[in-house]
Amino acid sequence: DQQVKQNSPSLSVQEGRISILNCDYTNSMFDYFLWYKKYPAEGPTFLISISSIKDKNEDGRFTVFLNKSAKHLSLHIVPSQPGDSAVYFCAATTTGAGSYQLTFGKGTKLSVIP
């Protein structure tokens, strides 16, 4: 049973436009969410995170929105650049659990077309 779902395996966007990557979760105990970016043959790199006490967090071109009632979060990249082409993973954790284990989605491959 997948607790973190990224239902779009891939997404293509024109350079300069907005990229929106979506993520749904089923476990209501999750209270901290993270987005990672991964290039082939490399480890994931942290992008941005959001706590469940917020509904929005912004860092430069990256904004994450959280809708707790819908158990849905999204990552917006504006404007998209060719260097943003990578696989994006959504991850979630329960901070009170102590282990800080992350549960990942399967990822969305973003292609930004010049």
Partner 1 sequence: EADIYQTPRYLVIGTGKKITLECSQTMGHDKMYWYQQDPGMELHLIHYSYGVNSTEKGDLSSESTVSRIRTEHFPLTLESARPSHTSQYLCASKGQGAYNEQFFGPGTRLTVL
Residues near partner 1 (CB under 8 A), total:
26
Considering only 36, 64, 86, 88, the residue that binds partner 1 (CB under 8 A) is 36
Q: Is residue 12 close enough to count as binding partner 1 by CB under 8 A?
A: no
Phi and psi (nearest 5°) for 75? -115, 125
Cα dihedral angle (103, 66, 49, 35), rounded to 10 degrees? 50
Closer residue to partner 1 in complex, CB, 18/102: 102
Stretch that binds partner 1, among 21-29, 34-42, 57-65, 67-75 (CB under 8 A): 34-42
- Encoded tokens for 29: 């105990």
- Positions 50 through 69 that interact with partner 1 (CB under 8 A): 51
Cα distances from 32 to residues 73, 101, 105, in angstroms, run 11, 11, 14
Q: Residues in the site for partner 1, rule: CB under 8 A?
A: 2, 4, 9, 32, 34, 36, 41-46, 49, 51, 89, 95-96, 99-107
